Amino acid sequence: SYELTQPPSVSVSPGQTARITCSGDALPKQYAYWYQQKPGQAPVLVIYKDSERPSGIPERFSGSSSGTTVTLTISGVQAEDEADYYCQSADSSGTFHVVFGGGTKLTVL
């Protein structure tokens, strides 16, 4: 079955740049999406279609894609950005096979 691979954890100091990667064989053909989940809250969409930002999401959140890897970048990290981040995509078979990455815990030191 199709899988998306993320690092379990990333740590950065406030004001630095955090980069969270997500790898999957179908990513060159399928868009990736990113969700932020803070403790005790429902996830929130922060990036769609690899690099688009929904309204209301701060400009410090950006996304990029290169081959089989997509990257969520948070520039000028703030303490409030500490959360779990999940990438999500689908396989390229044309069926509803939605997949989430395992999640990355972002710690702001």
Partner 1 sequence: EVQLVQSGAEVKKPGESLKISCKGSGYSFTSYWIGWVRQMPGKGLEWMGIIYPGDSDTRYSPSFQGQVTISADKSISTAYLQWSSLKASDTAMYYCVRNRVEMNNYYFDYWGQGTLVTVSS
Asked if 31 is part of the footprint of partner 1 (rule: CB under 8 A), the reply reads: yes
- Is 24 a binding residue for partner 1 by CB under 8 A? The answer is no
Please, what is the minimum distance in Å from the beta carbon of residue 1 to partner 1? Answer: 8
Contacts of 32 (CB under 8 A, 6+ apart): 22, 24, 47, 50, 63, 65, 70, 87, 88, 89
Q: How many residues does the chain have?
A: 109
- Rounded to whole angstroms, the Cα distance separating 27 from 29 reads 5
Using alpha carbons, select from 26, 17, 41 the residue that is nearest to residue 101: 26
Q: Does 39 bind partner 1 (CB under 8 A)?
A: no
Q: In the range 66-105, which residues lie near partner 1 by CB under 8 A?
A: 86, 88-90, 92, 94-103
Closest CB to partner 1 among 37 and 75? 37
Binding site for partner 1 (CB under 8 A): 1, 30-31, 33, 35, 37, 42-45, 48-49, 54, 86, 88-90, 92, 94-103
